[in-house]
Amino acid sequence: MKSTPSLPLSVAVIGGGFGRFHIGGILSEPDRFALKAFCDQNPAVVEEIARQFSLPPSCAVRADYHAVLDDPAIDAVVVSLPHHLHETACVEAAERGKHILLDKPIARTVDEADRIIEAARRNSVTLMIGHQMRFYPLFRKMHDLIASRALGRPIYAETCHHQKFYYTTASNWRVKASTGGGCVIGSGIHNIDLMRWFFGEPAEVFALGVHDLARLDGEAAASISIRFQQGTLVNFTCNWVCHGAMDGYDWGEWAVFCEKGDISCRRGLTVGREYGKTVETVDLEKHPCESIWTHFADCVVNRTEPLINGPDARRSLALVRDIYQSMETGRPVSCGGAR
């Protein structure tokens, strides 16, 4: 087994789309990370990132990520590739002993996820999935309020994710369902993962989807109802057809109704405890939490399980697959059977 690395971790970022979000975070934490390589096949993306960030002289720029995986000096990789490339890149990284921070979703299918998880287990490397919403102070406070049962049991919740679909070229992987495109797996999984974190595991789902085939062959919008094992009912809507009326890019809208009070979240967090009388606005600056990168680095060097490990992310993906099964059949689906 490869020896446990020490801080700062020597890290490479594979993929420059959302990978630039990770580059910014990694460069902001020099005590935990040394950015040693950045990989992307698109010269325009490489040039753009070079302009956006002051990459250290020691950071190699590669078109082919395999050179990075073969470098014994690299401790960890951040995999920020299209969904259909997750399995291959992560299995190869694990087999070379690299610890892995992988963008959500873990994969397109549960079978792909299982192979990633098994490769990480077999090679004793840390596998963390970047469901970054769990590291936002707003959602961390929501989770803590619900888990504490200070407001009693959560009975009903509503949430939505509205987003403009920016990817207009037919060649973009997000346009195609076969490569992992569609608003539920592409964006709605943020809210779906938070639901599981807040309310536990799902029991049954019913979903309807609509398409905008002129732009993409995955679903453009979806309306989803989920009943959780503990009894909470959640209604969730998401779409990639927003034009700005709902802020254009908004994953922060929630309402949770509990036995003894309500939680409302849209850019901020308020708690109501007595109808029409008591409303508390939560000062999120008083509830800081660690970043996704801090957590990953600490898990690697301390050999501890990440907040979102492979099996946990697999369960969020399984719920997404159940949603798709319900869309396809037009019927409610008992959760846990989709692959």
Q: 305-336, pLDDT tens digit by residue? A: 999 999 999 999 999 999 999 999 999 999 98
- pLDDT at 337 exceeding the cut of 80: no
* Interval 87-116 mean pLDDT: 98
Closest C-alpha to 93, from 107, 110, 75: 75
Confidence of residue 164 (pLDDT cuts 50, 70, 90): confident
Closest C-alpha to 206, from 43, 294, 335, 56: 335
Q: Taking the domains of the chain in order of start, what are their residue ranges? A: 9-130+291-307, 134-289+318-334
Q: What CATH number has the domain spanning 134-289+318-334?
A: 3.30.360.10
Provide the token pair at 79: 């995999």
Dist CA 111 CA 115 (whole Å): 7
In tens, the pLDDT along 91-100 reads 999 999 999 9
Exposed, middle or buried by CB within 10 Å (0-12, 13-18, 19+), for 284? middle
Provide the token pair at 129: 């999935």
Q: What CATH number has the domain spanning 9-130+291-307?
A: 3.40.50.720
Provide the token pair at 63: 């078109």
Provide the token pair at 232: 């909470």
- pLDDT at 251 exceeding the cut of 60: no
**What are 76's strand-pairing partners?**
11, 99
Question: Residue 244 has what pLDDT?
Answer: 67
Max CA pair span of the chain: 62
- pLDDT at 39 exceeding the cut of 60: yes
Indicate whether this model's pTM tops 0.75: yes
Sheet of 33-39: strand order equals 60-62, 33-39, 9-14, 76-79, 99-103, 127-130
Sheet of 278-281: strand order equals 278-281, 269-274, 262-266, 249-258, 154-163, 233-239, 219-228, 202-211, 333-334
Q: Is there a contact between 92 and 98 (Cβ–Cβ < 8 Å)?
A: no
Question: Residue 250 has what pLDDT?
Answer: 57
Question: Residue 248 has what pLDDT?
Answer: 43
